[in-house]
Structures are given as structure tokens and as C-alpha cells.
Amino acid sequence: MRPVITAIRFALAAAIFVMGLEVCARLGDLAVYGAPFSGSYSSENLFLRDALGKRGRPGGSYRQWQMNSLGFRGPEIDWSRTRIVCFGASEMFGMFEDPGDELPRMIERDLNSRPPARYQVVNAALPGESTATAIRRVPEIAATVRPAFAVIYPSLAPYITLSAIGHEGAQGAPDAPRFEWRLPEWISDVVKARLPMRAMIWYRQYQIRKGSAGHRLMDRLPEKNVQRFEADSLALIESLQSRRIEPVLVTHATVFGDKVPVDDRYLMLTWRAFYPDLKEAGFLDMERRMNDVLRRLAARHGIPLIDLAAVMPPSRRYFADAVHFTDAGAELAAAAIAAGLRPALAGENAPDRPDSSDAAGNGTSTAPKLRSAALSRHVSP
Amino acid sequence: MWTALVALAPLAAASWWVRPGKWRQVLLLAASYAFYAVFGVSSLAVLLASSLLNFGCGAFIRARPIAGRLWLGIAANVSLLGFFKYLPPAAAAFEAPLAVELARVALPIGMSFWTFQALSYLFDQYREEDLRPSLLEFCLYMGFGPTVLSGPICRLPDMLPQFQHRPPFSWSAAGAAARRIWLGLFMTSLARILGGGIRGGHGLDFGFAQPAFALHASGVWILAIGYGFQLFFDFAGYTHLAIGAAQLVGFQPPENFNRPYLSTSPSVFWTRWHMSLSFWIRDYVFLPLASARRGIFWRNFSLLSSMVIFGLWHKATAPFIAWGAYNGALLVLHRQWQAAAIRFSWDPPPAFWEPFSWVVTFFSICAGWILFRAASLKQAGEMLTRLVRPADYALPVLPAELTLLVLSLALAYFALDSLRLLAGRLSWSSGGPVELKAACYAVMTYVIFFNGVKPQGFAYFQF
């Protein structure tokens, strides 16, 4: 009888230990992020699913991310200001920056650095969103935000898997909050933060092997994928222009530049773990070709282009991983984007802009001028 | 560091089964040196040189124990410590090429600790204690892995028998050691949280970074008490780690803390805080100095001087010297108070007097931590000035979450320690029903891996 009682007591102790950790995880979320103690608390708190797919949940919040009453990350709309809406994926939405230092907020801060503050930048980006999905959101965003400009900073990697394009977020967690254990996510965070680099590399390689099992690996992104990206980008531009919203294209920047340094190999592995079908060598080629598409579209259709891929120094000072900005990176990118926006904004508010002399004014690429301006202001030796 | 510890753990564990004892010492020394080399091969070279030098000095003194030989040994150690610890900051004030080179000299980690161990060995040889370690044993004494970084400061008479005789392996002792390591990790994590705050950026580091004019008396008290606990959790936690690791390989270094914040006088406090250094200063500085002459003035001067050396041991900067002098003054005041109480036969009821003494002691010691933590004497002076302005007590304090964090941790500490004191052996990690222990370990595990703040180093590694 005694061994049975001992076993029961130890089983009870184990259950108490697990429940204790779960309670601590909830109290920790409450203390650090103001999260509710009961109910579910995951990144799904930020999003809703509707007929068009994933969208921001009005008033949603999770960790450092807060949505406004319209479901956009950032403050409420200030109708007295000229609004600039930002499209993109997690790079634009903001992942690693401190709250309030994500790219759209930085652009707004830069544009309003000289009083009076007259611009509001609305963060309509959503993690994982492709250009194809953004097109579907344009009518609603145009109606609710009524922006004058749209900054398009597309994530290119979703086009590696064409079959998934346009379906991002169509399936996912149900909207209604339900009980969810917080312990697994806490354990995952703890392990990720403390595992030695070698173990993390091994884990990423395992993820890639598992993700690509049974698939044919691509050395290079097929041309049809690039064409689809071009078609979607053009459709987005036309959709915006038809609503009298002036698009501004931004090329996609990565930490790598022209090649992957040995020290950054892990960052490439981490990136590839999300898209295991494309070999490492294909990623930089993909970035080059798809950024060329954006440059071509801008030149052909007279759209302002900010060549961020050329402006951003390939340095881990500016990127927290392969593609997401650090605070310093967001600041530098914002300076480049704001400098590129100013000519267009000057056309909108010509008498008020003291630096309107920068304006290219003809809708052609302003990249060289932006590059030198941004670099001279922000890149110190 | 943690990777090295995990990698070397099997080597250290193997020491339980290696025979004869000499090979055990070789294995432990190899593991200790490999661990220490993680912090720089040049540091290991200095440790080795100091070990050889002091082994030689010890033999030299033992051959003829005269004061001149002892002073020679002391001078050699103080010079070596001075070159690495005190010269670089002093040289930084000059621009000459040699000064620039000297300013770049890095202090080998833990040098203050193992230099004091070497000095105690020389004193013991001078006192003709029967200590004849082999070179291997002496090197192990100086570089023993668990204690080489930040103490506790060991004495050879305690360690030598442990090097020579291995206790039988026991799972219950290993379990107790593991529990102690877990408790150490928990306490150091609490220190990290106090420093960085629950939400990154709203901890004590933030508070001390505020200009003094932005702080008010209540805020300064919160910072002083908070830092007192941060330092305690950090250093006492580290000591638990060090002692737990030593116990895992069958050794018992001296204890370093014994509920210091429950002390009811400064004299008691200094027998409970950083005990291995306190007792070292008492045995090798205060007692020889105080016994050199008779009289109250000389005794008080000895107390004050000993505590100034205590401060200097940490760093040769004005705030640390002032901190030592402040604590010396507290000890002198307490001694004078005791003398006056005896002289006037004043014997207040303990029920009133002990809580009152505890309050006075606790707040006096905490006020001293301002000197320990402040970036400069000016900042410390400005902060301490706030404490004596009654009008400042009514003004707003620091961020509410920092105040709440400090007060809740302080209250929890006092509640748990008082409970342990009242209940005798009742301990939240080693006693009580298994279900209660499970709940306690859940909390400890969560705190150890708490992700809210960025990692920081151990505070005492800088000394």
C-alpha cells in the first residue's frame, strides 16, 4: 500500500509542479505584458479570420504588439493628418523593435521631425502577408483609412511556394478565445534563448530536412514565381491608383547583401527553415530578381521607388535576423523611406515642406539621392 | 561559462571514482584550470605564477618564521594584486604611452579572492601552524574550480584535509548539493530581475541612472533597500552555486552568508555578511592591529582601518573607501553604545529593544549600499543628502512597479527567513511535504528562466 501512496503523492507533486509553472507563466504575462490571467494568450490575439483571410483584430494585444480599434498596429487614426498606409509582412509590422520603434512609427517620427506634425503612418502590414493577400485588403483599407499614399514593402519569400500564395491565414486558429496552455510557448522561448548556437543550427537543419522531405528542392526560384510576383505587384499598384492612393515601392533588404558571410550562415538557415524548398543559394538570387521587378515596375509606371536593398548596409547592427530590423535598422530604413516620401509629400503640400527641394518630382527612381542622404546621416564608421 | 561547466562536469564527477587520492587531485586541478582558462589563458598564467610564488614563499617562511620573511611575502602578493587591480585604473588618468599600456592590463577574474587565500596561507605559516601541502595540493587550494571565481575565501587548514581524504559518495548529499545549486540559480535570477526590472528598463539600474535631483527620499530608500537585496541575492546566490558545486565533488567550503538582514547590530551583521572575507579581515588585519596597543582610541582606529581595507579590497575608488569607512564608523558607534549601556547599567526589555535595533541596523546598512553602488562620491552624497531632508519624504517615488518589486521581495525574504528561524529546520527547498516542495520548485524554475530582462553578469566577478 505504501509504494502506491508514495507513487500517488509523487504524481500529485508532478502535477502541482506543472500547474505551478503554468500559473507562474500566466502571472509573468500579466506582470510583463498586462495579459489576462485567464483565457488564451497567443499571437492569435492579434488577428481575426474573415472571408478574405487573416486581418488585424481591433484592440488585440499580445506581448509588445498592440492593435488599434481598426485592427492596425499603432495608435488610433488622427483624421486631421495626411495618412500614409504601409503594406507588407512582418518586416513592416515589426518583430524585434521596441514598441513604438517599428518601421512605420519611425517613418512617421522622421516625417514629423519638423513641426507641425502633419502625417500619420498607418501600419496595415500583417505578419506572413503576401502582395496577393494585400490586394484583397485594399478596398477596405482605402475606405477606413482614406490614405493619400501607400508604402509597399513586400515580403518576397512567400512567392517561393506558389500554391500558398493568396491563402495566407485562410486557415488558422479559431477566433473565439479558449483555454490554451501557456507552458509550451514559455518552454519554447526558454530553450530558444539558451540553447548553444551549435544546437540551434542542428535544430534548424532538422527543421529544413523535415520540411523539405518528399519535395523537389529548387536551386533557383522558377521564373513563373517571379512573374506571379510582378503580376500581383502591378495589381496592387493599380488597385491603389484606382482609389487615388499614390503607391511608393520599396525594395526588400536583407542582412546578407550580395553574399552570405560565414558568420551569418545561421541567419540564412533560420530564414530557410520557413521556406525549405529553396536551396540557400537561391535566396539571394530571388531577392535580386524580385527587387529588379520592383525597380522595373517603378520605372515603367512612374512610381516613386526607394531602393532600400541598396541603402541598408549588410550588418547585424541593423537586422535582428535575416530580414527583420533592429531598432537601429528600423531607424535607418525609416530615414531612407521618409526621404523618399518627402518629394511626393511635397507635391501634396508644396508650400509647407522646407526640404521640398529634394523632390525628384518626375516619378522616377530617387534611389541614388536617398542612398547618399540616408548613409550620410546614419552610417557612421 | 555555463557551457564549460557542463562540459567539465563529467570530469569533476569522475573524481569520485579515481584512485589513488593524488590522481583525484590531478583530475580536479585539471578540471579547475580548464574551467578557469575559459576566462583567459593569461589569467590562468597569473594564477599559476601566484600559486608557485606563494608555495615558495610559504616554504621560505616555514624554514624560518620571522616577520621580515612574512612581510616579503605580503609585499609580493600586494604588488601582484596592485599591478593588476589598482594600477590600471590609476594609469587611465594619464596619457603617457606606458600609462596607456598599463591601463589596458586586465584583472584576472577572482584575483582578489585567491590572493587573500594565499596571504592567509603565509600568515598561517608565520604562526607556525602545521601545514605542509604538496605543490599539487597548494595549486588546487588556490585554483579550486568552484571557489576560484568569487570565493568563498577558503583557508588551507579547512581545505587540506578535504583534499587528502575523500568522503564516501552519497546520493542524499548529491541531492542536497543539487538543491543548493538550484537555490543559487533562483537567487541570482532574482538579483537579475531586481537590476533590470520585470519589464526591461524599469529596475534598479534605471533608478540609479536617474540624476539625483530627480530622486526623493522615499525613492532613495527604495533604491538602497533594493540594491541591498540585489547584492545579497546575487552574491549569496553565487555562493550557493559555488558551495553546491564543491559539494557535488565532495568538498565543503566555508559559508559566506547567514541571514544577514535579520541582524540586530552592525557587529552581528558583519559576522553574517560575506563571512569568509569578514573573518579574514578580523583574523589577519583587525586582531593583529588591535592587539598591538591598548586603549579605546586604538581599538576604534583598528576597527575603522580594517573596514577601510574591506572597502579597498573591493576597489580603490572613493565610494568604496567611503563605504568601508562608513561601516567602520557604524561598528565604532555600536561599540561605544554598548560600552555606555554597560557603564550606565541600561538594560532595556528585549521585546522592545530587539525590533528597534533591527530597524536601525537594517536601514543603516542599507544607506551604506548607496556608497557601494553609486557611480561617484558626488552621486552618493546627493542621494544620501535626500535622506535627511524631511520635506523630501512627501514627494513622489520611483515607478510603481519598481517600488512594488523591491518591497514585495523584501517582505517575502523577511517572512521566509523569519519562518525558517522560528520553525528551526523548516526549509522551503529541503523540508516539508513533497507537494509543497513541488510548488516551490515550480516558482523557482520559472524565476530562473524568466525572460523579461536581459542577462547580466554576477556583480562580484568585478572584484
**A20 in contact with chain B, both atoms CB, cutoff 8 A:** yes
- Residue A190 binned pLDDT confidence (cut-offs 50, 70, 90): confident
Chain B interface disruption, residue of A10, A16, A23, most B CBs within 10 A: A16
- Range in A47-56, A97-106, B118-127 with the lowest mean pLDDT: A47-56
Asked whether residue B16 is assigned to any structural domain, the reply reads no
**B5 in contact with chain A, both atoms CB, cutoff 8 A:** no
Q: How far apart are the first and last CA of chain B?
A: 18
Q: How many angstroms away from the CA of B427 is the closest CA of chain A?
A: 17
Residue A65: its pLDDT value, please? 92
Phi and psi torsions of A67, nearest 5°: -105, 150
Regarding whether B199 and B130 lie in a shared domain, the answer is no
Kindly tell me if the per-residue pLDDT of A379 is higher than 80. no
Regarding whether A53 and A6 lie in a shared domain, the answer is no
Residue B26: its pLDDT value, please? 93
Regarding whether A336 and A290 lie in a shared domain, the answer is yes
**B451 in contact with chain A, both atoms CB, cutoff 8 A:** yes
Residue B1: its pLDDT value, please? 63
Kindly tell me if the per-residue pLDDT of B227 is higher than 90. yes
Regarding whether A144 and A30 lie in a shared domain, the answer is no
- Residue A168 binned pLDDT confidence (cut-offs 50, 70, 90): low
Q: Which residues of A touch B199 (CB under 8 A)?
A: 31-32
Burial B93-128 (b: 16+ CB within 10 A, else e): eeeeeebeebbeeebbbbbbbbbbbbbbbbbbbbee
Burial B7-23 (b: 16+ CB within 10 A, else e): ebeebbeebbeeeeeee
Pairing of strands A305-306, A246-250: parallel
Tens digit of each residue's pLDDT (9 = 90 or more) over B285-336: 999 999 999 899 999 999 999 999 999 999 999 999 999 999 999 999 999 9
Asked whether residue B293 is assigned to any structural domain, the reply reads yes
Chain A residue closest to B198 (CA)?
A32
Phi and psi torsions of B170, nearest 5°: -140, 130
Regarding whether B354 and B326 lie in a shared domain, the answer is yes
Asked whether residue B9 is assigned to any structural domain, the reply reads no
C-alpha cell at A344: 511626393
- Bridge partners of residue A150, in order along the sequence: A85, A247
Q: Which residues of A touch B182 (CB under 8 A)?
A: none
Pairing of strands A305-306, A82-88: unpaired
Regarding whether A136 and A12 lie in a shared domain, the answer is no
Kindly tell me if the per-residue pLDDT of B208 is higher than 70. yes
Tens digit of each residue's pLDDT (9 = 90 or more) over B122-144: 999 999 999 999 999 999 999 99
Regarding whether B41 and B183 lie in a shared domain, the answer is no
Asked if B347 contacts B341 with a C-beta cutoff of 8 angstroms, the reply is: yes
Q: What percent of chain B stands above pLDDT 90?
A: 70
Regarding whether B162 and B178 lie in a shared domain, the answer is no
Q: How many angstroms away from the CA of A37 is the closest CA of chain B?
A: 16
Closest CA to B86 of B69, B100, B103: B103
Regarding whether B400 and B415 lie in a shared domain, the answer is yes
Regarding whether B140 and B235 lie in a shared domain, the answer is no
Regarding whether B115 and B201 lie in a shared domain, the answer is no
**B4 in contact with chain A, both atoms CB, cutoff 8 A:** no
- Residue B105 binned pLDDT confidence (cut-offs 50, 70, 90): very high
Distance from CA of residue A286 to its chain's centroid? Answer: 18
Regarding whether A279 and A144 lie in a shared domain, the answer is yes
- Residue B430 binned pLDDT confidence (cut-offs 50, 70, 90): low
Kindly tell me if the per-residue pLDDT of B452 is higher than 70. no
Window 344-403 of B: residues touching A by CB (8 A cutoff) are: 401
Chain A residue closest to B199 (CA)?
A32
Pairing of strands A53-56, A61-62: unpaired
Phi and psi torsions of A27, nearest 5°: -65, -40
**A11 in contact with chain B, both atoms CB, cutoff 8 A:** no
Kindly tell me if the per-residue pLDDT of A144 is higher than 90. yes
- Bridge partners of residue A120, in order along the sequence: A83
Q: How many CA atoms lie within 13 A of A277 on its CB side?
A: 14
CA distance B448 to B445: 5
Average pLDDT of span A175-196: 80
Residue A348: its pLDDT value, please? 65
Average pLDDT of span B140-153: 94
Residue A193: its pLDDT value, please? 81
Residue A185: its pLDDT value, please? 87
- Residue B31 binned pLDDT confidence (cut-offs 50, 70, 90): very high
Asked whether residue B2 is assigned to any structural domain, the reply reads no
Residue A346: its pLDDT value, please? 81
Q: Which residues of A touch B408 (CB under 8 A)?
A: none
- Range in A13-22, A94-103, A338-347, B123-132 with the lowest mean pLDDT: A338-347
Number of domains in chain B: 2
Of B198, B435, B451, the CB nearest to A13: B435
Query: A284 vs A232, A266, A271, B64, CA distance in Å?
Result: 21, 15, 12, 76
Contact B434 A9 (CB under 8 A): yes
Q: DSSP assignment of B74-115, as one string?
A: HHHHHHHHIIIIIHHHHHTT--SHHHHHHHTPPPPTTHHHHH
Q: How many angstroms away from the CA of A257 is the closest CA of chain B?
A: 29
Contact A16 B451 (CB under 8 A): no
Asked if A28 contacts A35 with a C-beta cutoff of 8 angstroms, the reply is: no
Measured CA angle at B188 (ends B187, B192), to 5 deg: 120
Contact A190 B451 (CB under 8 A): yes
Contact A32 B199 (CB under 8 A): yes
Number of domains in chain A: 2
CA distance B252 to B266: 27
Asked if A310 contacts A251 with a C-beta cutoff of 8 angstroms, the reply is: yes
Q: How many angstroms away from the CA of B452 is the closest CA of chain A?
A: 7
Query: B370 vs A124, B214, B228, B328, CA distance in Å?
Result: 48, 16, 9, 16
Regarding whether B193 and B161 lie in a shared domain, the answer is no
Kindly tell me if the per-residue pLDDT of B429 is higher than 60. no
Mean pLDDT score of chain A: 86
Chain A residue closest to B405 (CA)?
A31
Residue A369: its pLDDT value, please? 41
Q: Which residues of B touch A28 (CB under 8 A)?
A: 446, 450, 452
Query: B183 vs B238, B427, B444, CA distance in Å?
Result: 10, 11, 8
- Residue A154 binned pLDDT confidence (cut-offs 50, 70, 90): very high
Tens digit of each residue's pLDDT (9 = 90 or more) over B8-18: 777 777 888 78
What range defines the domain where residue B263 resides?
Answer: 172-462
Mean pLDDT score of chain B: 90
- Residue B459 binned pLDDT confidence (cut-offs 50, 70, 90): low
Asked whether residue B359 is assigned to any structural domain, the reply reads yes
CA distance A162 to A160: 6
Tens digit of each residue's pLDDT (9 = 90 or more) over A243-259: 999 999 999 999 998 88
Q: Which is higher by pLDDT, B2 or B225?
A: B225
Dihedral over alpha carbons A318, A321, A326, A329 (to 10 degrees): 30
Closest CA to B91 of B75, B79, B102, B80: B102
Residue A370: its pLDDT value, please? 40
Tally C-beta pairs within 8 A across A and B.
Answer: 54
Regarding whether B223 and B108 lie in a shared domain, the answer is no
Of B198, B435, B449, the CB nearest to A16: B435
CA distance A352 to A343: 12
Which of the 8 DSSP states describes residue B295? Answer: S
Last residue of a domain, one of B146, B166, B186: B166
Which of the 8 DSSP states describes residue B282? Answer: I
Asked whether residue B4 is assigned to any structural domain, the reply reads no
Tens digit of each residue's pLDDT (9 = 90 or more) over B318-330: 999 999 999 999 9
Kindly tell me if the per-residue pLDDT of A240 is higher than 60. yes
- Residue B446 binned pLDDT confidence (cut-offs 50, 70, 90): very high
C-alpha cell at A332: 535607418
Written as one letter, the residue type at A248 is V
Regarding whether B235 and B127 lie in a shared domain, the answer is no
For helices B111-126 and B41-63, the axis angle rounded to 10 degrees is: 10
Regarding whether A50 and A15 lie in a shared domain, the answer is no
Kindly tell me if the per-residue pLDDT of B66 is higher than 90. yes
Regarding whether A102 and A203 lie in a shared domain, the answer is yes
CA distance A137 to A300: 25
Average pLDDT of span A158-169: 77
Asked whether residue B237 is assigned to any structural domain, the reply reads yes
**B454 in contact with chain A, both atoms CB, cutoff 8 A:** no
Asked if A110 contacts A207 with a C-beta cutoff of 8 angstroms, the reply is: no
Taking phi over 0 as left and psi of -120 to 50 as alpha, with beta for the rest, B110 belongs to left
Regarding whether B369 and B230 lie in a shared domain, the answer is yes
Q: Which residue is listed with cell 527620499?
A: B217
Query: A213 vs A83, A158, A221, A270, CA distance in Å?
Result: 46, 19, 18, 17
Regarding whether A16 and A66 lie in a shared domain, the answer is no
Q: DSSP assignment of A276-332, as one string?
A: TTB-HHHHHHHHHHHHHHHHHHHHHHT--EE-HHHHS-S-TTTBSSSS-B-HHHHHH
- Range in B105-114, B162-171, B366-375, B393-402 with the lowest mean pLDDT: B393-402
Tens digit of each residue's pLDDT (9 = 90 or more) over A116-129: 889 999 999 999 89
CA distance A20 to A16: 6
Tens digit of each residue's pLDDT (9 = 90 or more) over A192-234: 888 888 888 898 899 999 988 888 889 999 999 999 999 999 9
Average pLDDT of span B193-197: 92
Residue B2: its pLDDT value, please? 67
Residue A192: its pLDDT value, please? 82
Chain B interface disruption, residue of A18, A27, A190, A195, most B CBs within 10 A: A190
Last residue of a domain, one of B138, B166, B194: B166
Written as one letter, the residue type at B458 is F
Regarding whether A201 and A242 lie in a shared domain, the answer is yes
Q: How many angstroms away from the CA of B98 is the closest CA of chain A?
A: 28
Burial A126-162 (b: 16+ CB within 10 A, else e): bbbbbbbbbbebbeebbeebebbbbbbbbbbbbbbee
- Residue A371 binned pLDDT confidence (cut-offs 50, 70, 90): very low
- Range in A163-172, A274-283, A356-365 with the lowest mean pLDDT: A356-365
Average pLDDT of span A95-118: 92
Residue B151: its pLDDT value, please? 82
Tens digit of each residue's pLDDT (9 = 90 or more) over A18-44: 999 999 999 999 988 888 898 888 888
Chain B residue closest to A33 (CA)?
B199
**B435 in contact with chain A, both atoms CB, cutoff 8 A:** yes
CA distance A309 to A294: 11
Last residue of a domain, one of B131, B166, B201: B166
Regarding whether B202 and B80 lie in a shared domain, the answer is no
Pairs from B254-261 (Cβ < 8 Å, separation ≥ 24): B254/B152, B254/B153, B254/B154, B254/B155, B254/B158, B254/B279, B255/B152, B256/B151, B256/B152, B257/B232, B259/B417, B259/B421, B260/B232, B261/B228, B261/B229, B261/B232, B261/B362, B261/B365, B261/B413, B261/B414, B261/B417
Q: How many angstroms away from the CA of B382 is the closest CA of chain A?
A: 32
Closest CA to B222 of B390, B406, B399, B414: B406
Regarding whether A295 and A262 lie in a shared domain, the answer is yes
Q: How many angstroms away from the CA of A177 is the closest CA of chain B?
A: 25
Kindly tell me if the per-residue pLDDT of A364 is higher than 50. no
Q: How many angstroms away from the CA of A30 is the closest CA of chain B?
A: 11
Residue B74: its pLDDT value, please? 97
Asked if A122 contacts A85 with a C-beta cutoff of 8 angstroms, the reply is: yes
Q: Which is higher by pLDDT, A173 or B69?
A: B69
Regarding whether A345 and A365 lie in a shared domain, the answer is yes
Regarding whether A239 and A104 lie in a shared domain, the answer is yes
Chain B residue closest to A185 (CA)?
B451
What range defines the domain where residue A25 resides?
Answer: 1-38
Asked if B251 contacts B162 with a C-beta cutoff of 8 angstroms, the reply is: yes
Q: What is the CATH number of the domain that holds A300?
A: 3.40.50.1110
Average pLDDT of span A348-363: 40
- Residue B360 binned pLDDT confidence (cut-offs 50, 70, 90): very high
Chain A residue closest to B401 (CA)?
A31
Q: How many angstroms away from the CA of A129 is the closest CA of chain B?
A: 28
